[in-house]
């Protein structure tokens, strides 16, 4: 797979493996299973917070979010956020994190994969190609990516909040037409993107170590 093989295979790193490691514990906002038509707290008064409530979601590293390449199509592996809380990636429902690394104003498939790798490395998982092993190359590259991401984590809490993710060129991608590609109309600011069933959300924070994200939701209504 890698053009250059360098170094002996390394055992899988840490608690993370393919499929991620959502611990599923202690989430305010009722992860999982509180999602539904009778979502508690929907429409409750805002109080002192800018959003009505925050909801925890599992992160889905290495999610197959589409395909790329013409002659030899390959899966596009992205770092998804399970916005509808069913434990798997759903096109058109869940968000995919993407950083515009070359600053051309849009996130392409390569950047989706590079963001996936960076988010994993940020959380200490250097298995960049998701094969369950961390080789020497991945350790070197993973450390570099981790340091790059730590540079965006300005308050050094190990998470990226909305401002930090935005300053990294971060966008939230929603595959509305479910074609496995992310066009311009499917790329949103992390401050406001459509969420399944209840209007718009903002990415409160992404924690790659514990594999969770919190989104703040506004009760804008049921349409986008």
Of 2 and 157, CB closest to Ca ion: 157
The least distance separating Ca ion from the CB of residue 136, rounded to whole angstroms, comes to 29
Of 131 and 163, CB closest to Ca ion: 163
3-state secondary structure the chain: CCCCCCCCCCCCCCCCCCCCCCCCCCCCCCCCCCCCCCCCCCCCCCCCCCCCEEEEEEEEEEEEEEEECCCCCEEEEEEEECCCCCCCCCCCCCEEEEECCCCCCCCCHHHHHHHHHHHHHHCCCCCCCCCCCCCHHHHHHHHHHHHHHHHHCCCCCCCEEHHHHHHCCEEEECCCCCCCCCCHHHEECCCCEECCCCCEEEEEEEECCCCEEEEEEECCCCCC
The least distance separating Ca ion from the CB of residue 155, rounded to whole angstroms, comes to 5
Of 77 and 159, CB closest to Ca ion: 159
* Partner residues linked to 59 by β-bridges: 81
Write phi, then psi, for 70 (nearest 5 degrees): -95, -55
The least distance separating Ca ion from the CB of residue 2, rounded to whole angstroms, comes to 24
The least distance separating Ca ion from the CB of residue 216, rounded to whole angstroms, comes to 16
Of 94 and 138, CB closest to Ca ion: 94
The least distance separating Ca ion from the CB of residue 173, rounded to whole angstroms, comes to 9
Of 143 and 178, CB closest to Ca ion: 178
- Chain positions contacting Ca ion, by CB under 5 A: 82, 84, 86, 90, 94, 100, 102, 104, 153, 155, 157, 159, 164, 175, 177, 179, 181
Query: What distance separates the 2 farthest-apart alpha carbons in the chain?
Result: 57
Of 113 and 164, CB closest to Ca ion: 164
The least distance separating Ca ion from the CB of residue 8, rounded to whole angstroms, comes to 34
């Amino acid at each position: 797979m890698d053009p250059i093989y360098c170094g002996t295979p390394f055992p899988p790193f840490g608690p993370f493996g393919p499929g991620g490691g959502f611990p599923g514990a202690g989430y305010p906002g009722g992860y999982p299973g509180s999602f539904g038509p009778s979502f508690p707290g929907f429409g409750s008064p805002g109080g002192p917070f800018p959003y009505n409530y925050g909801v925890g979601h599992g992160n889905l590293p290495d999610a197959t979010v589409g395909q790329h390449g013409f002659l030899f199509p390959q899966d596009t592996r992205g770092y998804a956020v399970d916005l509808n809380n069913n434990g798997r990636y759903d096109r058109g429902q869940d968000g995919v994190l993407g950083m515009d690394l070359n600053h051309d104003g849009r996130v392409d498939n390569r950047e989706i994969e590079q963001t996936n790798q960076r988010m994993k490395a940020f959380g200490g998982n250097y298995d960049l190609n998701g094969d369950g092993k961390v080789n020497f190359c991945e350790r070197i590259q993973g450390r570099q990516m981790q340091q790059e991401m730590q540079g965006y984590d300005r308050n050094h809490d190990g998470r990226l909040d909305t401002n930090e993710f935005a300053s990294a060129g971060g966008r939230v991608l929603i595959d509305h037409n479910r074609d496995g590609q992310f066009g311009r109309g499917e790329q949103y600011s992390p401050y406001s993107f459509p969420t399944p069933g209840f209007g718009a959300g903002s990415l409160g924070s992404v924690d790659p170590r514990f594999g969770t994200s919190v989104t703040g939701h506004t009760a804008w209504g049921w349409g986008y």
